[in-house]
Amino acid sequence: MSGIVIHLPEGGRGPQAGPDAGPVTLRLGPGEVARFGRGSATCPVELRLVDAAISRLAGEIRVTDDHWQLSNHSATQSYLVENPEGAGEYLRVPPRRAGAPIPFEFARVVLPTRSGSTVAFQVFAPDHVYLDPDRAGGPRDSHTLMAYSLDETAIYFLVLVALCEPRLRDESPLAVPTTPEIVARLGGHPGCSGLTSRAVSSHIDYLAEEKMRLTTLTERQEQGRGARRNGKREAIVSVALRFGLVREEHLALLPPRGATGAREERAAAR
């Protein structure tokens, strides 16, 4: 595990935060720690959450070699760690719990507030390692680890399949779907009803930067827009198809195509 990515979205600091409270993205390697809470001059935090119900130092996230841990420093409040891709799966981290191991590859840490709403931030743990399924059952040192560890049940994998779909269907040797086209394509999937363009862009960045490791540190620090984002999608599709990460059988994961797509398929077959 090379580390994790923590993202506090714009507007995610809490109902009492000012209008200039922009998003925050942190990258932590093994052994590094990020603290969260209201913070103060004497108690600095990396993720500042603004609500009177949140402690100055509410908790911390620590990265280990193969997972990340959440410590709850509150004496009274439990925190939730949700798996947004796990059909309601979540963990409750009770008050004063130290170093609770979090198994989710993509998680949302949720804290209660006095207003009745919640504040939340996201944690991506990109390098979960999967064994080669053909070598399961033998000694660990005889196993071959997967070069690209992709979870085929995750939303980001659906985004990857949608990116690759036109080339897998031989519909377009050049064009890669745009972000709005992916949102529309996945709209009929039960797990993607609330999928937004911003979420799709985040999944594309996650695939490129963490799963396929296609971008350099300099590129990560830039604000990816326009041609650079188009190039990122092209690179993702190229790697996925060249190495067989997405194959024709994966198209069954996508929602059924609409009548227009069906007519096009019938016309192509004639």
Domain boundaries, the chain: 4-124, 155-269
Average pLDDT along the chain:
79
pLDDT of residue 210: 79
In terms of pLDDT, which residue wins out, 209 or 249? 249
Query: Which range is most confident: 46-55, 128-137, 207-216, 250-259?
Result: 46-55
In terms of pLDDT, which residue wins out, 109 or 11? 109
pLDDT of residue 254: 94
Tell me: pLDDT of 218 over 50.
no
In terms of pLDDT, which residue wins out, 248 or 140? 248
Q: What order of strands is seen across the sheet that includes strand 106-112?
A: 24-28, 4-8, 118-124, 106-112, 79-82, 90-93
Which CATH number applies to 4-124: 2.60.200.20, 3.20.20.10, 1.20.140.10, 2.60.40.10?
2.60.200.20
Tell me: pLDDT of 138 over 80.
no
pLDDT of residue 214: 77
For the stretch 69-122, pLDDT in tens is 999 999 988 999 998 876 678 899 999 999 999 988 889 999 988 776 778 899
What pLDDT band is residue 163 in, cutting at 50, 70 and 90? Answer: very high
pTM over 0.75: no
Tell me: pLDDT of 217 over 60.
no
Is 120 within 8 Å of 109 (Cβ atoms)?
A: yes
Task: Report the alpha-carbon distance of residue 121 to residue 49 in Å, rounded.
Answer: 10
Backbone angles phi, psi at 154, to 5 degrees: -85, 155
Instruction: Give the mean model confidence (pLDDT) for residues 48-77.
Output: 91
Which one-letter amino acid corresponds to residue 68? W
Proportion of the chain above pLDDT 70, given as a percent: 72
Task: Report the alpha-carbon distance of residue 102 to residue 93 in Å, rounded.
Answer: 10
Tell me: pLDDT of 182 over 50.
yes
Task: Report the alpha-carbon distance of residue 21 to residue 50 in Å, rounded.
Answer: 10
Tell me: pLDDT of 160 over 80.
yes
pLDDT of residue 50: 84
